[in-house]
Amino acid sequence: MKSFKFVIHNFLMGILCLPLIGCMSDISRKQPLNLTFPQVQGSSLKGDAYNIPDDFSGKPRLLLIGYIQDSQFDIDRWLLGLTQLKTPIAVSEIPAVRGLVPWMIAKKIDSGMRSGIPKEDWGSVVTVYRNADDIANFTGTEDPLNSRVVLLDVNGKVIWFHDRGYSASKISELDRVVRDLNVRYSE
């Protein structure tokens, strides 16, 4: 009888842990060019609610998406490069935190992020919990240390995408695309 209880216990624990294990599995790379970004909800570290991409419509927007904490290093390199090039684009960092447990402790996670990010930047960091899997399925999560760099047009369609880590040639390419895009929308 003891072994039967052990089997039932392990079975139930496995079922309960599936959402936790599933959140860490890699999703193959995607190429979302010319696709509309999925509708997701998030909150900035300032506390503002966002519906992405709808709340960014009307102007091009660059999303720097990270799936794990360690992708912040790659995101910071992109931000530094964009700043050095003075790339004229609104940028939002999107921590896409997958899984049931993170969603349950979202306030604690956001508090931890606030402690490491200057207050003046809190509005540009929009954390997505509940819909993080929608973003992951859209971009893929393979090589999670690399951020997903997603340029949206005025309608939320992806017009430039990169997911293989910071690259000087790619940031130069992105800068040219953004400048051309801005000229096109100003005419």
**Per-residue pLDDT tens over the stretch 51-76:** 999 999 999 999 999 999 999 999 99
User: What's the CA gap between 20 and 53, in Å, rounded?
Assistant: 27
Q: CB–CB of 152/37 below 8 Å?
A: yes
Collapsed DSSP state (helix, strand, coil) of residue 150: strand
Residue of 144, 141, 160 lying closest to 89 (CA atoms): 160
User: What's the CA gap between 39 and 95, in Å, rounded?
Assistant: 15
Domain assignment of residue 114, given as a range:
2-186
User: What's the CA gap between 143 and 71, in Å, rounded?
Assistant: 10
Kindly report, residue by residue over 3-36, the tens digit of the pLDDT.
544 434 343 334 334 344 344 589 999 999 999 9
User: What's the number of domains the chain is made of?
Assistant: 1
CATH value at residue 158 = 3.40.30.10
